[in-house]
Every structure is written in structure tokens, then in C-alpha cells.
Amino acid sequence: MPITELLSRNATYFKDEVALVEINPEVGNIPRVTWREFSLIESDRSGAFRKQMTWGEFDVRANRFANLLLTRGIKKGDKVAILLMNCLEWLPIYFGTLKTGALAVPLNYRYDAKEIKHCLKLADVDALVFGPEFIGRVEEVLPSVPKVKNCFYVGEDCPYFADSYDKLIRYCSSQAPSILLTDDDLGAIYFSSGTTGFPKAILHAHRSLMHAAIVEQKHHGQTRDDVFLCIPPLYHTGAKMHWFGSLITGSRAVILRGASSEWIIRTASEEHCTIVWLLVPWAQDILDAIDSGRIDLNEYHLDQWRLMHIGAQPVPPTLIKRWKKVFPNHDYDTNYGLSESIGPGCVHLGVENIHKVGAIGIPGYGWETKIVDADRNIITEGVGELAVRGDGVMLCYYNDPKATEEVLDDEGWLYTGDMAEYDEDGFIYLVDRKKDVVISGGENIYPVQIEDFIRTNNAVKDVAVIGLPDKRLGEIAAAIVEVKEGMTLTEEEIQEFCHDLPRYKRPRKIILADVPRNPTGKIEKPLLRRIYGGEFLVAQQNERDVK
């Protein structure tokens, strides 16, 4: 069934129960509004701005926005882009869009004007909803995307080129529009992370969205008593599809704006959160804050916290071992997925398999996997490309048949571009991205393996290994190492530390610098290659000139 029916069901059975809570430590970041149907509560304990919404209010807000879109001529099959920071309005706007039969098109809030324009055009967007943080970018883009005839602004002081969302929806019907939806109807377009160039538009049907909800609940056993703490951006499949576990069970979720260690722990304590999904850097920062004394766990109530899980990038086993020492009673799960597979869950470790930390796991609920060689023949030993199949696989890259053909076959297999291998028990280990493999002197070097090793150094906060051009070897492995605050580490000390690696895996260049990650936690390796690749070529040329 279409996922919108879950919202309607929750509004019927749990009408007056809280569905969503928003916590904003920086009160000034939330614009005042002239009208709201949800509760606004000032938190006396923390000083943070807190507001909440019941399931009944959630459904009404979605219905009102759906009816607003319909009055503006938005119809089944049209596209509505959402460019908002995480906020309480985000999900009602998303579901209101779905209720019209239109496709929701979430946009990365870090996109610059050029990327916004690219995505609006690629997805054939008909309407745009945006917040105050994006006024300048949207004003710059709109003249070049004439198809976007409706532009709605969420917040106070509506700019001249948009219509006020808050003022308009108050006059719209709160009844659900009578539009028939099926699992096969188109539901959403998500964009790839853009780590390999301009983002691709990923087309999903309602079947994918519902599949994601079922998979999430099966994997993590959500019940009506759970409270999910949502920190990552809602535009990404990771955050939203994990929240779908709350949707399917009618349980409460808390949206935290910002990811400081202190606020994650404080919110988990004060809102009685039971499930928290973290990215690797956030988990590292929390442990560092506890080690340094900035966070004293004795000041918080965390006994109810039962599950911490991580996804979006390879997870260092050392991090989880460290986490379990501090939080021995936490269940832990790793979730692997792509936006092309409707986010996390096509492979997962499983809370019962923590002894296999380091693996991404086994096929998720309702999913199949295989590892193939360069000719796409199945292999059971050695490194190959991971492929997945299930109801969550995308329909295609929208408006890009060539790119679709490269990753989807006629049997429904999605070729992920991730290199993986099995262990003796059939658990899948991610080796690296196909495009990130460094080929040095004819030898394949997998950066993730080196990164995992270097992270075992207690002074290392983060590390990224990339290939840099080399005239003799083709490429060499270079490690960009970010050192923990208050600690020191030299290039020579890292080289010495790496002597325990096989000789061919040892990075030939060490760079002490920050490791950039995108909002979903993935290391921005193309950016690092652009930054350091050019510098390295210049240095090599200068060295040759001296000789």
C-alpha cells in the first residue's frame, strides 16, 4: 500500500499522541511564524526551543498542503522540490506532496545555486518549497527554471518572488484529497550524493518507500514505546527511511537541529530516546567528549537508550569496540545502502551479530545480494562488485538512460559500485568504492583497509586515503590524517605506525589536515583529489626541475 496510508492510519488511531518533536539549541535559527496548528513549548531546563506535533496535526498539515498544491494546478506525476533545513514542517510537506500523487523531490541544503538549478531542471520540477536560509540562492536560480511556476516560502518575511506557505495553507481544506494511489505510482526523486560529479536523479515508486518502512521495522524492532532521535538531514534517504520505522509503528521521533555531542546526549536524555542513528564523526566526537570530561554521563538519564546504529560510510571496528566499552548495554547495528536502493537496509549487520563488527552484514529483510567479477559473473571468493535486488531498487536514473543501463540489469539487479568480499561465514565486508581503488604499479590498493588501520592510532580523529598521480607507478596512496584536538602526531610517526601494514599498502605520502565529509557522513574524496592532486603534481614537477 502507498506509504501515505500509514500517516492516515496513525492520525485515526493515535490522533492526540505526539508524532514529532523539534529541538533547536540555537533559538534564533527558527523563524517566528504567524500561524501554527502544532504546540510550541519553551524548554525551561535547557533554554532550547522545543515544539511538537501530534499525529492528528501532522495529517491535517499534510492534507492542507496537498490541497494547496491542487489549487495551484499540481497534479499526479508533477514534481515538488523541498529545500528546507530539518524542521517540523519538513515531513508534512513531504507527505502532502505524496497525497496529491505528485513526486517529492528533496534537495540537499548544501547545494549552491548551480547545483540547485541542475537538480530542478534534471527532475523537471514544477513547484519549490524553501526556507529562509535559501532566499539568495533561490532568487538567483528561478529566472533560469521557468517550469517552476509555484514557489512557496516557509517562514516570516516572505520574499517578493514567492508565496507564503504559512498564510496560504490556513485557508486550505484539512480533508485528504480523493486521489487514488497504488504501489506502482511514482513517489519520489532523490539525488545521489554527488561525490562522483553532479548529482543523478534517482526515481522511486511508492513500493520502494513502503518497502523501506517494513525493512527498518524488521531490522530494529521498533514498537509504539520507542523514541527515535533523528539528527541527519531529512533530504537524504538515510534519515527519512530510518524514521519510517517510527511511522509504521506510530511511535514518537525527535528532530535535533545540529549535531554537537553535548546536545545529542542531552536530547537523548531529556526526550527519553531509545534509538539513535549516528554518523561516524558524531560517534567519535561523543566518545572524545566523554574521554575529555566535557560530557559527564552521570548527569544524564540514558538507561532507556537501547540501540545505536551507524550507516552511510564504512565503520571502523575500533570505533564500535570503543563505544561498547562506554555503553556496554547498547545493541549495535550497521546499515548499508544507497539512495538507489531507497537508503539503508539492503545489507545490515543485525544486532545479534556484533561479534562480526567490521562487516556490513548479510542481505536485509526482503533483499538479495551477490558479489560479481568484472564480467558480472558470481564469485564466492576474492574481491568483486556488490549487487543487490529487492523492492527498494530504483526504477531508473530519471532522464538518464545511459547511466541507468550501467547499473541496472534486466533481472532487477543494482550494481552498487562498491567492492566487497565474503568471509567464511558468508558475511559481507566492504572493501572500497570501485572508483576509489588505487592502482599503484599494477597492484590494487583498497583505501578503506588502510583507513581502518590508521584509525587504530589513538591520536587519529579521522583519515582519508586517496590516489595521487605518479609518473612511475601511475598512482600512489596518500593518507590525509586529521589529529584529535589536544593531541600531536607527526608525518614520521604515522609512517612508522604504518610499518605493520604490508609494504605495498603503506601510504607513500602523509598529509596532516582536516578530513571533509558531506552531510551524510561520506568522505569527500573527489574534493581531496582536486585539492592535493594538483599540489602533488606541482611538487613533483618542481622536484624534477631541481634535479
pLDDT at 418 > cutoff 70: yes
**DSSP states of 246-309 as a string?**
HHHHT-EEEEESS--HHHHHHHHHHTT--EEEE-HHHHHHHHHHHHHTSS-GGGS--TT--EEE
State the CATH number of the domain containing residue 495.
3.30.300.30
Query: Can you tell me the distance from the alpha carbon of 63 to that of 73, in angstroms, rounded to the nearest whole number?
Result: 16
Is residue 337 within 8 Å of 346, Cβ to Cβ?
yes
If we measure between CA atoms, which residue out of 337, 507, 482 comes closest to residue 418? Answer: 337
- Same-domain status, 451 and 424: no
Does residue 265 belong to any structural domain of this protein?
Answer: no
- pLDDT-above-90 percentage for the chain: 67
Query: Can you tell me the distance from the alpha carbon of 419 to that of 434, in angstroms, rounded to the nearest whole number?
Result: 6
CA distances from 332 to 142, 175, 176 (A): 45, 41, 39
What's the rounded mean pLDDT across residues 149-161?
95
The confidence score (pLDDT) of residue 441 equals 62
Q: What dihedral do alpha carbons 172, 175, 177, 183 form, nearest 10°?
A: 130
Domain boundary among 172, 205, 238: 205
Query: Can you tell me the distance from the alpha carbon of 60 to that of 371, in angstroms, rounded to the nearest whole number?
Result: 46
- Same-domain status, 522 and 458: yes
The confidence score (pLDDT) of residue 174 equals 96
List the end-to-end C-alpha distance of the chain, in Å, as a whole number. Answer: 70
What are the residues whose beta carbons fall under 8 Å from the beta carbon of 531, sequence distance 6 or more? Answer: none
- Same-domain status, 52 and 201: yes
What's the rounded mean pLDDT across residues 25-49?
47
Q: Which of 34-48, 121-135, 285-299 has the lowest mean pLDDT?
A: 34-48
Q: What is the mean pLDDT of the chain?
A: 88
Query: Can you tell me the distance from the alpha carbon of 210 to that of 447, in angstroms, rounded to the nearest whole number?
Result: 35
Q: Which of 35-49, 230-244, 254-268 has the lowest mean pLDDT?
A: 35-49
The strand pair at 343-348 and 362-363 is best described as: antiparallel
User: Could you give the number of structural domains in the chain?
Assistant: 3
Q: What dihedral do alpha carbons 402, 405, 408, 411 form, nearest 10°?
A: 150
- Same-domain status, 362 and 444: no
- Same-domain status, 414 and 330: yes
C-alpha cell of residue 386: 556488490
- Same-domain status, 466 and 347: no
Maximal CA-CA distance, the chain: 79
Rg value, the chain, Cα? 24
State the CATH number of the domain containing residue 197.
3.40.50.12780
Domain boundary among 141, 176, 205: 205
| Band (330; pLDDT cuts 50, 70, 90) | very high
- Same-domain status, 319 and 384: yes
Domain span holding position 446: 437-546
pLDDT tens digit sequence for 161-205: 999 999 999 999 999 999 999 999 999 999 986 544 578 999 999
What are the residues whose beta carbons fall under 8 Å from the beta carbon of 298, sequence distance 6 or more? Answer: none
- Same-domain status, 457 and 423: no
C-alpha cell of residue 371: 558479489
Does residue 243 belong to any structural domain of this protein?
Answer: no
Does residue 51 belong to any structural domain of this protein?
Answer: yes
**DSSP states of 361-376 as a string?**
BEEPTTEEEEEE-TT-
- Flag whether the pTM goes above 0.95: no
Query: Can you tell me the distance from the alpha carbon of 430 to that of 514, in angstroms, rounded to the nearest whole number?
Result: 24
Query: Can you tell me the distance from the alpha carbon of 66 to that of 99, in angstroms, rounded to the nearest whole number?
Result: 6
pLDDT at 207 > cutoff 60: yes
pLDDT at 14 > cutoff 50: yes
Does residue 239 belong to any structural domain of this protein?
Answer: no
**DSSP states of 318-357 as a string?**
HHHHHHHHH-TT-EEEEEEEEGGGTEEEEEE--GGGGGGB
Domain boundary among 150, 173, 205: 205
Amino acid at 252: R
The confidence score (pLDDT) of residue 430 equals 83
Does residue 213 belong to any structural domain of this protein?
Answer: no
Does residue 291 belong to any structural domain of this protein?
Answer: no
State the CATH number of the domain containing residue 349.
2.30.38.10
- Same-domain status, 348 and 312: yes
Does residue 473 belong to any structural domain of this protein?
Answer: yes
The confidence score (pLDDT) of residue 35 equals 36
Does residue 83 belong to any structural domain of this protein?
Answer: yes
What are the residues whose beta carbons fall under 8 Å from the beta carbon of 66, sequence distance 6 or more? Answer: 96, 97, 99, 100, 176, 177
- Same-domain status, 9 and 112: yes
- Same-domain status, 458 and 406: no
What's the rounded mean pLDDT across residues 413-436?
87
What's the rounded mean pLDDT across residues 519-547?
65
The confidence score (pLDDT) of residue 545 equals 46
pLDDT at 135 > cutoff 80: yes
The confidence score (pLDDT) of residue 534 equals 62
Q: Which of 19-28, 29-38, 50-59, 456-465 has the lowest mean pLDDT?
A: 29-38
Is residue 307 within 8 Å of 276, Cβ to Cβ?
yes
Beta bridge partners of 40: 51
- Same-domain status, 441 and 541: yes
If we measure between CA atoms, which residue out of 28, 2, 110, 95 comes closest to residue 55? Answer: 95
